[in-house]
Amino acid sequence: MTTTGASEGVAARGAPVSGPWWWARRRSAVLDVLLAVASALECMVEGVRFAREAQLPEVAGVLLGLLVGSVLLVRRRWPVVVVLVSIAVMPAEMGGLLSVVGLYTLAASDVPRRITTLLAGMTVVGTLVTTFLTLRQDVATQEDFNPPAWVVPVMSLAVGLVLTAPPVLWGLYIGARRRLVESLRERADGLERELSLLADRAEERAEWARNEERTRIAREMHDVVAHRVSLMVVHAAALQAVALKDPEKASKNAALVGDMGRQALTELREMLGVLRTAEGTAARGAAASDAPERLAAVASRARVPAEAQAPASVAAGGVPEGDGAVPGAGTPGEGQAEGPSLADLGDLVGQSRAAGMVVELSVDGPAEGPVGAGLRYAARVEQTVYRVVQEALTNVHKHAPGARARVRLAHREGELAVQVENGPCEGDAANAGLPSGGNGLVGMRERVTALGGVFVSGPTDAGGFRVSAVVPASLPAA
């Protein structure tokens, strides 16, 4: 046995059960009480008539009608019981309302259809037999009324169908409609949950993208500013050593260090301006994934006046300016747009040599002449190799002052390999006291692995340090 579709639908939707006992709502309880009262009154009247015909006390007929009519109170909980009671009292010709309401409730409930069909058929047969016997008895008592033989069976069948078919069909329709509405509501709830999950996942992806972008921007700022400032500190340490021996040269070099510091501050301000612009663009819904490339372009523009001042400084006896920013590659316009390239490795090594480091640069492979003159790789590949060499040389300045360094670049089939190795620190070399944030090796590894390459770093048996990277080479640029 089960409840009707109405009560089950309310419970399935999660509505609060505010009615007593098995009623989901108070108005359902009120409706069933009113139906039970009406059915009880009907059955009591019919029970009195049945008691008279059966020569029984009228009180027995009243009590029977009261008991039978009150069964409608449980129609939502046990609809099958209501229909069975209505079939049982059919010979007494009582319970018309009970039968109609019971069949409707049974058809609208989730009772298996075979049970509904069986009970509806039993009701039709019971109504047919009861009506047939009653009509035949009435016709027999009227001597002047002789209808054809088929009239009584046809009328009995019509009465049985009229009293049974409408409530059953209407109940089936209501039950199917309730189930459809409930299915649509569950589907809508499911879609809402899916949309909520998708929104949560989108927020997680957005947060991940923001973190990735912050990491890329921080890596670019580290590469662009740290190298220049590191060389500036190295020059400052050298000035301290020659200040008393050659005051004029120390003064010129101090001016050069001041210029380098001002240029570093200028680059930092420009990069912070790019970050603010990128944040504003992201707030308006545009993608800000090109922020690192814009940082590289800013640093490339800042490199032009620095290179113009370097030859004059050398001629005056000063130390050439170290440039850790991103230089251009190829033509000026193209280089500024793309950032550093393999063609700038020679200048990068020259800056470290000018700062007092002994650096050897060698190129293996099909490239001939200057570094990067024979082959042209994708911009990200060349920038990654440049950054690895730049950061490795910066680490030599920081952690191994006076050590010899060797930079090897190898053009292989389908890949580009680079290795920077330095020997042990010289005992009489002055330590510049450069701070280390521990982000250099992490940044190099992230850059290389982002392109599908391999990055290895570690100390050597001779007491030095080695950094190696192999980057897959994309199609040569046109």
Quickly tell me which residue has 């419970």 as its tokens. Answer: 11
pLDDT of residue 365: 77
For residues 405 and 355, what is the distance between their CA atoms, to the nearest angstrom? 13
Contacts of 424 (CB under 8 A, 6+ apart): 400, 403, 462, 463, 464
pLDDT of 20 reads: 63
List per-block mean pLDDT (blocks of 10 residues) for the chain, which spans 478 residues: 43 49 76 87 86 83 86 86 88 84 88 87 85 77 75 81 87 89 92 92 89 76 70 72 74 74 73 63 48 51 43 36 36 46 87 83 70 69 90 86 90 90 74 62 87 91 92 63
Burial (CB count within 10 angstroms: exposed 0-12, middle 13-18, buried 19+), residue 375: middle
Number of helical H runs and strand E runs in the chain: 13, 5
Lateral strand order in the sheet of 465-472: 359-364, 405-412, 415-422, 465-472, 454-459
DSSP state of 325: S
Q: Give the closest residue to 411 by CA, choosing from 442, 451, 447, 369.
A: 369
27 Cβ partners below 8 Å, 6+ apart?
none
CA distances from 340 to 212, 332, 380, 474 (A): 22, 11, 9, 17
**CB-count burial class (<10 Å; 0-12, 13-18, 19+) for 247:** exposed
* Closest CA relative to residue 95, chosen from 136, 66, 115: 66
Please provide the size of the chain in residues: 478
Residues 6+ apart with CB under 8 A from 463: 423, 424
CB atoms near residue 449 (< 10 Å): 13
Question: What is the distance between the alpha carbons of residues 265 and 259, in angstroms, rounded to a whole number?
Answer: 10
Report the distance separating Cα 134 and Cα 156, nearest Å.
9
